[in-house]
Structure 1
Amino acid sequence: MKQQRNTKQRQLVLDAVRARCDHPSADQIYLDVRAIDDKISRGTVYRNLNFLAQNGELLHVKVSNADRFDCRLDFHYHLLCTECGAVCDVPLSYHAELDQQLAAKTGYVIERHRTVFEGRCPGCQHKSEHS
């Protein structure tokens, strides 16, 4: 496999994701990086996000409204607000025993499972109660 060099743009993208704790979309990262380097293209940001996710430096969180990125690499779950689209980490432990149970029943070698819980966040609930 060809060795990939660490470029200035890739480092800017990685730093932009690490600077946020809200699981930003590729577009949000593009805007953050563009504020630092006005010559960087959207395609460069997207390619670098995908590269970093494929190489295990970021987590690609797939949700219904837009793909998101997370600098937290441990196995964990996410919450998606179906109203405003906010994504956050779930304050529950990862259940590796589910991986083991499924492996035993199917013969698959399970690497991990990803779970996204969906509902309305407290902020959106509050807004709808007061409108």
Structure 2
Amino acid sequence: MKQRRNTKQRQLVLDAVKAHNDHPSADQVYLDVRAIDNKISRGTVYRNLNLLTQSGEICQIKVPDADRFEYRLDFHHHLLCTKCGAVCDAPLSYHTELDQEMAKKTGYSIKRHQTVFEGLCPNCQHSLK
């Protein structure tokens, strides 16, 4: 892969993702970076999020409506609130044997799997009462 120089904009995007524990969307990262550098464009932020994901410096979580990003690189699962859209880490262990079983059954070379559990977070459950 071609060596890319580390730009100020890319570092701002990386720092914005690192500052979050709530798995920000690209728009949230853009707003955070824009507060620091009002000349940065949405396209620059999105392009750098993609580059950082491709290089393995951050992870992208694919959820309905808007993909989310995080700095945590270990393999783990997520929870998604279907009402408010909150995303958080799930307190379950990652099982590599599922990757191995899928590879054996399909012939794919499995790198990892991503699981997103969907439901209502405690706050949204409470607001229904």
Q: Do the structures match in fold with TM over 0.5? A: yes
| In the alignment, structure 1 residue 28 sits paired with structure 2 residue 20 | no
Identity rate, percent: 75
Give the aligned CA root-mean-square deviation in angstroms: 0.8
Instruction: Determine the structure 2 residue equivalent to 1:46.
Output: 46
Deviations for 1:58-110, whole angstroms, at most 9, x for unmatched residues? Answer: 00110012110010000000100000000000011101111111122222221
Instruction: Determine the structure 2 residue equivalent to 1:79.
Output: 79
| CA distance in 1 between partners of 2:43 and 2:78 (Å) | 27
Query: SS in structure 1 opposite 2:51?
Result: helix
Deviations for 1:22-48, whole angstroms, at most 9, x for unmatched residues? Answer: 000000000000000011110100000
**After TM superposition, where is structure 1 displaced by more than 4 Å over at least 4 residues in a row?**
none
| CA distance in 2 between partners of 1:107 and 1:10 (Å) | 37
Distance change >3 Å, CA 102–CA 2, structure 1 → 2: closer
Gaps of 5+ in 2: none
| CA distance in 1 between partners of 2:110 and 2:5 (Å) | 31
| CA distance in 2 between partners of 1:74 and 1:111 (Å) | 12
Query: SS in structure 2 opposite 1:50?
Result: helix
| In the alignment, structure 1 residue 98 sits paired with structure 2 residue 65 | no
The code of the aligned residue for 2:122 comes to P
Equivalent positions of 1:105-120 (< 5 A) are: 105-120=105-120
Instruction: Determine the structure 2 residue equivalent to 1:69.
Output: 69
Gaps of 5+ in 1: none
The code of the aligned residue for 1:22 comes to D
Instruction: Determine the structure 2 residue equivalent to 1:16.
Output: 16
Query: SS in structure 1 opposite 2:99?
Result: helix
Length, aligned pairs only: 129
TM-score (norm 1): 0.96
Query: SS in structure 2 opposite 1:65?
Result: coil
| CA distance in 1 between partners of 2:46 and 2:102 (Å) | 34
